[in-house]
């Protein structure tokens, strides 16, 4: 449902609510006035046409009015309950601008915090504009943290005493985020696929016209490299899709030694590190650090952290991997001395397809999915991932995972890589 349609629906509901409240108040005033008049005239009244004394007739009339009042109250409560069930903020005012209803979702806007005060002011402006017939939808962006985007709309409410108004506040933050992800996906995938596919076409044309076997062999090797690049893009997309769909590891969690996970991850990241002449220092990891989970997912997470560190480090530098125990948690640190991350980007680096430096990312390649995969693996295992960075001084990514119970053995996860994992490592 669009915001405009939602405003219309809520305007109708709010209109019924206002009319019910107004009707109840009018009934109350009429009952009170009639009771006062009857009380004054009671001594002069005789029996009615049916022979009933005046007090009995008065009691019946008051009872009928009270029943009508109760019905108006029930209707008002039902309508108020319906508006309370709406997840959007709803504020209703009467023709004088006096607030007659505010649901719980809108209650926080009346606070004194800076963001809440901005929202409340926007709501009041929209209500005044709607009562004057000049309201236009408005989008309010609060930069947080976390950032919030609110769509505020208002519509007039026709009442016997004039025109009131209803304002609706819709949190569209997630919608905006998904739109940004979609745009990033189109931009990144378009570039990442266009480059190797274009190279494959060019290389194929060159091979078709080449007679020298040595040159043909080199061109074929280049084609194989570009094909591998396309394959890795597809693998990243499939990995993320699979991991996001799992609320828990795919297989039964088993005790997994952290040092074994890191060792396998280092082997898989070694080709990229070697190409950039980057050393990976993972020596001396304690062998008693054990977590429970899916070994394949955990290796994938550490590989992505290592490859991310290698891509954004200077050639000839060193990437360090360390692990430590912190209570019931094992923390794996991947530290580099590369370009670092600006403070404004720290909250977004784990989003799908988000790139801190798009220009450099184009040079280093990749889909922008690696850190998102790390975050989902951590979540699937009941942990999280954090980053500490200073621009120009490097970054430290910390993967935090619940440790296995004391005395847990290495189980199935302690042994050498399984055949599929070994093949995957060899292919990469």
Q: 208 lies in a domain?
A: no
Higher pLDDT, 23 or 273: 273
In a domain, 279, yes or no: yes
| Residue 413: band (very low, low, confident or very high) from pLDDT cuts 50, 70, 90 | very low
In a domain, 226, yes or no: no
260 pLDDT band, cuts 50/70/90, is very high
CB hemisphere CA count around 223 (13 angstroms): 15
Tell me if 57 is assigned to some domain: yes
**Residue, of 69 and 240, whose pLDDT is higher:** 240
Query: Which of 256-265, 282-291, 298-307, 366-375 shows the lowest mean pLDDT across its residues?
Result: 366-375
Which of 140, 171, 202 represents a domain boundary (last residue)? Answer: 171
What is the predicted pLDDT for the residue at 174? Answer: 84
Q: Say whether pLDDT at 332 is over 90.
A: yes
pLDDT at 119 over 70: yes
Instruction: Give the structural domain span for 79.
Output: 3-171
**Is 241 inside any structural domain?**
no
Q: Is residue 204 part of a domain?
A: no
pLDDT at 167 over 50: yes
* Residues 138 and 254 both lie in one domain: no
Averaged pLDDT of the chain? 75
pLDDT digits (tens, 9 = 90+) for 343-388: 877 877 887 766 666 544 445 555 667 888 899 889 889 999 999 9
Decide if 255 contacts 290 (C-beta within 8 A). yes
Task: pLDDT band for 291, please (50, 70, 90 cuts).
Answer: very high
Give the least confident one: 252-256, 278-282, 283-287: 252-256
User: Domain ends where: 136, 171, 206?
Assistant: 171
Last residue of a domain, one of 145, 171, 197: 171
Instruction: Please check whether residues 416 and 282 belong to one and the same domain.
Output: yes
Asked, for residue 113, whether it belongs to a domain, the answer is yes
Do 19 and 163 fall into the same domain?
yes
Q: Give residue 281's pLDDT.
A: 93
Query: What pLDDT, on a 0 to 100 scale, did the predictor assign at position 248?
Result: 46
* Rounded Cα gap, residues 373 and 298, in angstroms: 10
- Are both 290 and 417 inside the same structural domain? yes
Query: CATH number for the domain including 289?
Result: 3.30.565.10
| Helical H segments across 85-157, by residue range | 104-107, 114-132
Q: Looking at residue 422, what is its pLDDT? A: 38
State the pLDDT at residue 134.
Answer: 84
Query: pLDDT for 198-221, tens place per residue?
Result: 888 888 888 888 888 888 888 888
Q: Note whether 31 and 143 are same-domain residues.
A: yes
Residue 237: its H or E element: helix 213-244
Q: Does some domain include residue 219?
A: no
- Per the structure, the count of domains in the chain is 2
Q: Rounded to whole angstroms, what are the CA distances from 422 to 80, 265, 416? A: 62, 11, 9
Residues 128 and 263 in one domain: no
Q: For residue 321, which of 336, 306, 308, 334 has the smallest C-alpha distance?
A: 334
| CATH number of the CATH domain containing 18 | 3.30.450
């Amino acid at each position: 449902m669009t915001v405009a349609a939602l405003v219309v629906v809520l305007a109708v509901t709010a209109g019924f609510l206002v009319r019910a409240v107004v009707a109840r108040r009018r009934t109350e005033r009429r009952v009170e006035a009639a009771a006062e008049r009857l009380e004054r005239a009671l001594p002069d009244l005789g029996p009615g046409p049916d022979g009933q004394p005046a007090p009995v007739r008065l009691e019946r009339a008051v009872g009928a009015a009270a029943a009508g009042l109760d019905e108006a109250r029930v209707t008002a409560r039902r309508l108020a309950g319906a508006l309370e069930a709406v997840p959007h903020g709803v504020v209703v005012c009467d023709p004088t601008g006096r607030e007659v209803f505010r649901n719980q979702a809108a209650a926080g806007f009346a606070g004194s915090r800076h963001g809440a005060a901005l929202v409340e002011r926007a709501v009041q402006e929209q209500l005044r504009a709607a009562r004057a017939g000049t309201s236009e939808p408005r989008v309010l962006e609060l930069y947080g943290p976390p950032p919030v985007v609110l769509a505020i709309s208002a519509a007039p409410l026709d009442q016997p005493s004039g025109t009131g108004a209803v304002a609706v506040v819709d949190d569209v933050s997630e919608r905006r985020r998904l739109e940004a992800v979609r745009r990033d996906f189109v931009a990144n995938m378009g570039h990442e696929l266009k480059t190797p596919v274009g190279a494959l076409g060019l290389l194929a044309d060159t091979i078709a016209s080449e007679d020298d076997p040595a040159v043909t062999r080199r061109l074929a090797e280049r084609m194989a490299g570009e094909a591998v690049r396309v394959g890795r893009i597809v693998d990243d997309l499939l990995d993320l899709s699979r991991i996001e769909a799992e609320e828990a590891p795919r297989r039964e969690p088993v005790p997994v030694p952290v040092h074994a996970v890191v060792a396998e991850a280092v082997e898989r990241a070694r080709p990229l590190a070697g190409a950039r002449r980057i050393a990976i220092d993972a020596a001396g990891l304690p062998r008693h650090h054990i977590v429970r989970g899916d070994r394949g997912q955990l290796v994938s997470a550490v590989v992505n952290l290592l490859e991310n560190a290698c891509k954004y480090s200077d050639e000839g530098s060193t990437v360090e991997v360390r692990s430590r125990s912190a209570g019931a948690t094992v923390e794996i640190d991947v530290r580099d001395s590369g370009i670092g991350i600006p403070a404004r980007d720290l909250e977004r680096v784990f989003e799908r397809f988000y790139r801190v430096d798009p220009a450099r990312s184009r040079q280093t390649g990749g889909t922008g999915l690696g850190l998102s995969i790390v975050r989902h693996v951590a979540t699937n295992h009941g942990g999280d991932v954090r980053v500490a960075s200073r621009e120009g001084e490097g970054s430290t990514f910390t993967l935090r995972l619940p440790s296995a119970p004391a005395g847990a053995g290495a189980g199935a996860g302690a042994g050498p890589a399984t055949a599929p994992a070994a093949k995957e490592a060899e292919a990469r």
